[in-house]
Amino acid sequence: MKIQISSDADARGVRHLEQQLMALGLQVYRVPAAGERVICAIATGDPVPIEEVKALRGVESVVKLPHEFKLASRAYCQASTKVAVGPVEIGGGEMVIMAGPCAVESEEQVFSAARHVYAHGARILRGGAFKPRTSPYSFQGLGVTGLRILRAAADELGMAVVSEIMDLSQLDDCMKYVDILQVGARNVQNFTLLSALGKVDKPVLLKRGMASTIDEWLMSAEYIMAGGNHRVIVCERGIRAHNTYTRNTLDLAAVPVVKQLSHLPIVVDPSHAVGVRSMVAPMALAAVASGADGLLIEVHPKPEIALCDGKQSLTPELFADLAGKIRETARVVGRTMPDRLDVAEPGRPDPGSADPGRVDPGRVDPEPGSGASKSAAKGAVRKGH
Ligand code: PEP
Ligand code: MN
């Protein structure tokens, strides 16, 4: 239930009220955006009658929360949560673009993609270092070396990094190199992982599972929030349906639904939703129009030789074109987007790529003996199946 604290309760009164709530068998939580004077009290055992709570000293009013997710709900926290990552804010007035390759393959690939997407308005660099592949024989990612490459490329430009954590054994490395921890569609109900991410001091990008209902997805967000981490961004990435022409079916209605049910920011990943390069742009624009707070888009300098998801990866030229259209669409729905910076013509090398002084390979320090050798990080990875 949502408890409004009465205006005459001082700090001691609030502490006393919290103790009384716990004595009744309620757990006491707070979410920053809800404000200081609002408590979320949740029964984890027997239900507690609302009248008993209303009768407590220091209580102004009590509202029963209608959904199973409580901390994630807008019924509890009316103000929209804004997740700050360095200078970027997700859930505010800016359309936040997270872009980069599906998988980190080499320094050249990531630096080139990063410079390009940054110049066109992306402020968060995406790239998988730990890849959840359907086949065990496909490229599994460069691991920690990949994280280091992402960090170095992002630092060169002042970008933030979003990258997937598949397993808790990767947490220490992800904490070191990543700004937003991504939980993939396949891990959306890995409750051990979600609970552990509730204890970390980093935002989490929570993908929707391929078969998740919106309630189930928000319950996964609730797991993270119940642990104390309120910086959750949810990401619609398409669900399984009977359409065979796209990889998944992009449920864009989920955007206004989530906005109504929850105060959390929502971004849309059109790349994994459609799985086909030519269909990414129209769905990205539709996502902006639907009210999404940001987009996650796969971009590869040479999609035809990508080790993962090349078919859905935009070329730099297509991304440049789409970014301009996103900027225009964002304006129509009242959002801003960073201006385009001067870059080389599409198809020409990005500025700096011919200037070895701009890339400092010394900053990328592959772990000795990690299996991902320097030569792998330099582009000698063999294409998977
Ligand atoms: C990804 O973004 O790299 C990814 C694997 O996406 P999803 O978990 O949505 O399939
Ligand atoms: Mn991918």
pLDDT tens figures, 185-240: 999 999 999 999 999 999 999 999 999 999 999 999 999 999 999 999 999 999 99
Q: Is the pLDDT reported for residue 379 higher than 50?
A: no
132 lines ligand 1 (CB under 6 A): yes
- What is the per-residue pLDDT for 345? 42
**Nearest residue by C-alpha to atom 8 in ligand 1:** 184
* Alpha carbon of 115 to ligand 2 centroid (Å): 19
pLDDT band at 373 (very low <50, low <70, confident <90, very high): very low
Taking residues 307-326, report their average pLDDT. Answer: 98
CA dist., res. 200 & res. 171, Å (int): 9
The residue to mutate among 135, 250, 269, 313, having the most atoms of ligand 1 within 8 angstroms of its beta carbon, is 269
- What is the per-residue pLDDT for 55? 97
pLDDT band at 342 (very low <50, low <70, confident <90, very high): confident
Closest CA to 192 of 165, 160, 210: 165
CA dist., res. 19 & res. 8, Å (int): 18
Alpha-helical (H) ranges within 305-370 are 316-332
Which residue carries 């054994």 as its tokens?
Answer: 169
The ligand 1 atom at the shortest distance from the C-alpha of residue 184 is: 8
CA dist., res. 360 & res. 107, Å (int): 10
DSSP assignment, residue 195? H
The ligand 1 atom at the shortest distance from the C-alpha of residue 187 is: 8
122, 348 in Cβ contact below 8 A?
no
pLDDT band at 368 (very low <50, low <70, confident <90, very high): very low
The ligand 1 atom at the shortest distance from the C-alpha of residue 309 is: 3
pLDDT band at 348 (very low <50, low <70, confident <90, very high): very low
Helix 214-226 crosses helix 254-261 at what angle (to 10 degrees)?
Answer: 40
Cα–Cα distance list, 215 to 66, 212, 275, 381 (Å): 12, 8, 25, 40
**Nearest residue by C-alpha to atom 4 in ligand 1:** 184
* Alpha carbon of 298 to ligand 2 centroid (Å): 7
Q: Poorest-confidence range of 57-66, 146-155, 176-185, 342-351?
A: 342-351
* Alpha carbon of 211 to ligand 1 centroid (Å): 14
Neighbouring residues of 373: CB distance < 8 A, sequence distance ≥ 6: 366
The chain-wide mean pLDDT, for the chain, equals 91
247 lines ligand 1 (CB under 6 A): no
307-319 exposure pattern, b = at least 16 Cβ within 10 A, e = fewer: bbbbebbbbbebb
* Alpha carbon of 272 to ligand 1 centroid (Å): 7
| ∠ CA 123-96-302, rounded to 5° | 60
**Nearest residue by C-alpha to atom 5 in ligand 1:** 184
Taking residues 127-144, report their average pLDDT. Answer: 98
- What is the per-residue pLDDT for 343? 57
* Alpha carbon of 132 to ligand 1 centroid (Å): 8
Q: What sign has the CA pseudo-torsion 10, 16, 20, 25?
A: positive
Which residue has better confidence, 97 or 354? Answer: 97
Ligand nearest to the CA of 296: 1
The residue to mutate among 134, 150, 181, 182, having the most atoms of ligand 1 within 8 angstroms of its beta carbon, is 182
Q: Is the pLDDT reported for residue 109 higher than 90?
A: yes
Q: Is the pLDDT reported for residue 372 higher than 90?
A: no
The ligand 1 atom at the shortest distance from the C-alpha of residue 128 is: 3
Tokens found for residue 92: 């505010």
* Alpha carbon of 185 to ligand 1 centroid (Å): 6
113, 301 in Cβ contact below 8 A?
yes
- What is the per-residue pLDDT for 354? 37
Q: What sign has the CA pseudo-torsion 283, 284, 290, 296?
A: positive
Q: How far apart are the first and last CA of the chain?
A: 51
Alpha carbons within 13 A on the beta-carbon side of 76: 28
Residues of the chain above pLDDT 90, percent: 88
Cα–Cα distance list, 336 to 125, 171, 328, 339 (Å): 19, 33, 9, 9
DSSP assignment, residue 313? P
* Alpha carbon of 184 to ligand 1 centroid (Å): 5
The residues with which 3 forms a beta bridge, in sequence order, are 39, 62
Q: Is the pLDDT reported for residue 352 higher than 80?
A: no
**Nearest residue by C-alpha to atom 6 in ligand 1:** 184
237 lines ligand 1 (CB under 6 A): yes
Q: Is the pLDDT reported for residue 363 higher than 90?
A: no
Ligand nearest to the CA of 308: 2
**Nearest residue by C-alpha to atom 10 in ligand 1:** 185
- What is the per-residue pLDDT for 364? 60
Which residue has better confidence, 116 or 358? Answer: 116
Pairing type for strands 88-90 and 83-85 reads antiparallel
- Look at the pTM and tell me if it is higher than 0.85: yes
User: What's the burial of 323, exposed, middle or buried (CB within 10 Å: 0-12/13-18/19+)?
Assistant: buried
* Alpha carbon of 148 to ligand 1 centroid (Å): 20
The ligand 1 atom at the shortest distance from the C-alpha of residue 308 is: 3
- What is the per-residue pLDDT for 87? 86
